[in-house]
């Protein structure tokens, strides 16, 4: 496969943490409107090293300050984990790894604030707000740039309640582990109720949305969001950009890699007149699944000047520059390939030699050649250039992960099947992995690469739930990421399939609030939570090979009785299934019903009959002569 950005990960690992002292970033995006954003530019510069001093300066009413953050500041020492920033402040990190632990809030109706060059985290129960940055209640003209924001319990940056004219740029977002609050990034507009119309103008550009960012990237109600040149690399997400009620999202030249639902506007079943609008162009969807809106809506025109970077270059540009430790300027040429390939032709050749000679022994303006960052291009770089001369780099790009994996539980075995969708020229085969824990602990089952898209696990033990994933491998031994997970419980009595949330056969719809993991005791990665309304439901897709009687078993939890109908191919097969209260959300039970089915493809829906919606559904298990999981239509 084609080599793309192969050097980025290696170089990032070697990149030193830089000092952010004296860096000043140009305000852009929507933060330039409404008179502009200058922060504390006209005020005194102070340096703070503890929460008490930080609180004093940021909460001083109206007085402009440039507040330099040095070291780690615990806001628990200041005001129970949260501060309320007043107008005309610049909060700037200096020195090595400036960090704030807690929530940066704002005094209602304040304006003109810049936050730059800081690492911010807000752990669970650290403060009542639990956002990293909480821009709420008529806050205007805020510029947030070059920050690393991670492990914030409720949201990394939330912008709501008539706040306006905000830019979020060159920031890095991630979570070190999945949390029980669904790893939310940025909520713009926090309620469906009216009140935010005409506000919430927000620009997101050149941000890096990384590990375990699951949703709200951003989620927008009523606002006008310009989302451009961002890098999305957060496999396992629920969705990325969601344009919701009366919102308009302009989504341009973003690079989406290995994500689900890159940009959507209908996840909650709202009437079509309440769907948000999306105009999308120039985006790259690299190994993405789910839905991407056509992007053909008419939306706002940005009132400010901006320049779009090439989408192909976004992974390198953003990973090089985003975050509190991000570098300034353009990435050097080797971020895109080999050292010495100055013209980015894919080969170090005679055309590059002239460029290298121009840098030889130079000490100024040499960033694009000074690989070892010692202020001089000398024999160290020459040896790299010579080593790469006329060298064709090996393929380091893995194939796409296999799609539509499903598993069948049989007596002491579990047959697996998946889509035969790997069409890469250098595709070599598949590996199958198994675990007894969802999402971790996988062990490879096959001794050699499989050349067909099915496999039978003959070492399975009856009564044990197994979790399976499959990878694809190419001829250069590049291995893809894991496929979606499938699970099975071998049983000596009848064949069975289990359909987990977010797996093949589970059909995402607007009836589902989210795939959640807040309450313990579930299997798989979580459970489906529908909206609390009559007629909301959970949908599945299966294929029945042999007509007969099948048992449908739902594993569920709920604190009230929540009856539901089982509807198959639009016909109600079982009415009022009794999903009785389990007492607590973390106490799980099962309910089973028999259904006589003809052979063929089936759409299966569990639909609520009361305003409480469905119980939380952990999985659907179907037992009978020959059930199969099918991809959703």
Query: Which residues are the active-site residues?
Result: 216
Rg (CA), the chain: 27
**Rounded distance between C-alpha atoms, residue 445 and residue 421, angstroms:** 21
**Rounded distance between C-alpha atoms, residue 206 and residue 326, angstroms:** 11
**Rounded distance between C-alpha atoms, residue 259 and residue 481, angstroms:** 12
Q: Any residues with CB less than 8 A from the CB of 418 and at least 6 apart, and which? A: 402, 403, 404, 405, 406, 430, 453, 454, 470, 483
Provide the pairing of β-strand 600-608 with 537-544: antiparallel
**Rounded distance between C-alpha atoms, residue 404 and residue 321, angstroms:** 36
**Rounded distance between C-alpha atoms, residue 174 and residue 159, angstroms:** 18
The encoded tokens of residue 60 equal 């001083």
**Rounded distance between C-alpha atoms, residue 179 and residue 319, angstroms:** 24
Query: Residue 227 — φ and ψ, nearest 5°?
Result: -115, 105
DSSP bridge pairs for 556: 589, 617
The Cβ of residue 52 has, within 10 Å, a number of other Cβ atoms equal to: 11
Q: Give the Å distances, CA to CA, from 367 to 361, 378, 383, 389.
A: 13, 13, 17, 20
The encoded tokens of residue 223 equal 């606002």
The Cβ of residue 21 has, within 10 Å, a number of other Cβ atoms equal to: 15
Spell out a b/e string for 448-460, using b for 16 or more CB atoms within 10 Å of the CB, else e.
eebeebebebeeb
Q: Any residues with CB less than 8 A from the CB of 327 and at least 6 apart, and which? A: 15, 18, 320, 321
**Rounded distance between C-alpha atoms, residue 183 and residue 177, angstroms:** 9
**Rounded distance between C-alpha atoms, residue 608 and residue 624, angstroms:** 25
Kindly compute the dihedral angle of the four CA atoms of residues 517, 520, 526, 527, in this order, to the nearest 10 degrees.
-100
Q: Give the Å distances, CA to CA, from 95 to 18, 99, 101.
A: 8, 10, 17
- Report cis status (omega within 30 of 0) of the bond before 410: no
Query: Residue 112 — φ and ψ, nearest 5°?
Result: 65, 70
Residue with tokens 């170090």: 348
- Collapsing DSSP to helix, strand or coil, 170 comes out as coil
**Rounded distance between C-alpha atoms, residue 23 and residue 15, angstroms:** 18
Provide the pairing of β-strand 589-597 with 527-530: unpaired
- Collapsing DSSP to helix, strand or coil, 415 comes out as strand
**Rounded distance between C-alpha atoms, residue 531 and residue 238, angstroms:** 16
The encoded tokens of residue 529 equal 């939570």
Q: Are 457 and 470 in contact (CB under 8 A)?
A: no
Of the candidates 149, 144, 79, 147, the residue with the CA atom closest to the CA atom of residue 107: 79
């Amino acid at each position: 496969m084609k080599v793309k950005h192969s050097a980025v990960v290696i170089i990032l690992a070697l990149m030193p943490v830089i000092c952010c002292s004296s860096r000043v970033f140009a305000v852009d995006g929507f933060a330039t409107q409404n008179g502009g954003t200058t922060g504390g530019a006209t005020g005194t510069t102070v340096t703070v090293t503890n929460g008490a001093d930080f609180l004093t300066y940021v909460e001083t009413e109206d007085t402009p300050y440039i507040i330099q953050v040095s070291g780690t500041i615990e806001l628990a020492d200041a005001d129970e984990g949260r501060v309320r920033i007043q107008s005309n402040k610049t909060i700037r990190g200096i020195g090595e790894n400036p960090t704030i632990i807690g929530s940066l809030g704002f005094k209602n109706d304040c304006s003109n604030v810049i936050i730059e060059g800081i690492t911010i985290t807000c752990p669970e129960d650290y403060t009542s707000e639990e956002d990293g940055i909480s821009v709420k209640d008529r806050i205007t003209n805020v510029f947030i740039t070059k920050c690393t924001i991670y492990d914030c319990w409720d949201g990394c940056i939330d912008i709501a309640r008539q706040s306006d004219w905000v830019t979020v740029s060159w920031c890095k977002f991630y979570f070190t582990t999945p949390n029980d609050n669904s790893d939310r990034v940025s909520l713009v507009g926090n309620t469906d109720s009216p009140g935010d119309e005409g506000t919430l103008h927000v620009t997101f550009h050149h941000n890096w949305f990384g590990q375990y960012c699951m949703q709200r990237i951003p989620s927008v109600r009523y606002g006008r969001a310009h989302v451009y040149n961002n890098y999305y690399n957060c496999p396992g997400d629920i969705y990325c950009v969601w344009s919701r009620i009366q919102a308009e999202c302009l989504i341009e030249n973003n690079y989406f890699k290995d994500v689900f639902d890159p940009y959507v506007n209908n996840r909650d079943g709202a009437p079509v007149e309440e769907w948000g609008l999306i105009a999308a162009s120039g985006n790259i969807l690299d190994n993405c699944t789910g839905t991407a809106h056509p992007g053909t809506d008419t939306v706002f025109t940005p009132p400010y000047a901006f320049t779009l970077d090439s989408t192909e270059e976004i992974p390198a540009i953003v990973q090089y520059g985003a975050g509190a430790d991000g570098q300034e300027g353009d990435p050097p040429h080797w971020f895109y390939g080999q050292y010495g390939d100055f013209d980015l032709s894919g080969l170090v050749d005679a055309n590059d030699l002239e460029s290298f000679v121009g840098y030889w022994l130079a000490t100024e303006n040499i960033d694009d050649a000074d690989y070892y960052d010692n202020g001089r291009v000398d024999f160290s770089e020459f040896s790299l250039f010579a080593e790469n001369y006329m060298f064709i780099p090996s393929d380091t790009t893995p194939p796409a992960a296999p799609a539509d994996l499903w598993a069948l539980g049989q007596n002491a075995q579990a047959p697996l099947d998946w889509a035969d969708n790997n069409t890469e020229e250098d595709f070599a085969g598949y590996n199958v992995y198994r675990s007894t824990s969802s999402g971790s602990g996988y062990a490879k089952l096959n001794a050699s690469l499989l050349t067909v898209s099915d496999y039978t696990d003959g070492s399975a033990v009856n009564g044990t739930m197994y979790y399976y994933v499959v990878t694809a491998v190419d001829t250069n031994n590049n291995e893809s990421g894991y496929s979606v997970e499938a699970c099975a419980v071998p049983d000596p009595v009848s064949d069975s399939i289990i359909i987990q949330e977010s797996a093949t056969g589970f059909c995402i719809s607007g009836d589902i609030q989210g795939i959640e993991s807040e309450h313990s005791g579930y299997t798989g990665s979580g459970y489906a939570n529908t909206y609390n309304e009559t007629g909301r439901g959970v949908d599945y897709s299966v294929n029945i090979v042999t007509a007969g009687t099948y048992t449908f078993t739902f594993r569920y939890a709920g604190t009230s009785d929540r009856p539901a109908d089982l509807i198959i191919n639009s016909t109600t097969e079982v009415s009022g299934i009794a999903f009785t209260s389990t007492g607590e959300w973390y106490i799980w039970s099962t309910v089973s019903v028999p259904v006589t089915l003809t052979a063929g493809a089936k759409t299966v829906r569990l639909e609520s009959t009361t305003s409480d919606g469905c119980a939380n559904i952990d999985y659907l298990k179907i037992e009978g002569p020959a059930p199969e999981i099918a991809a959703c239509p």
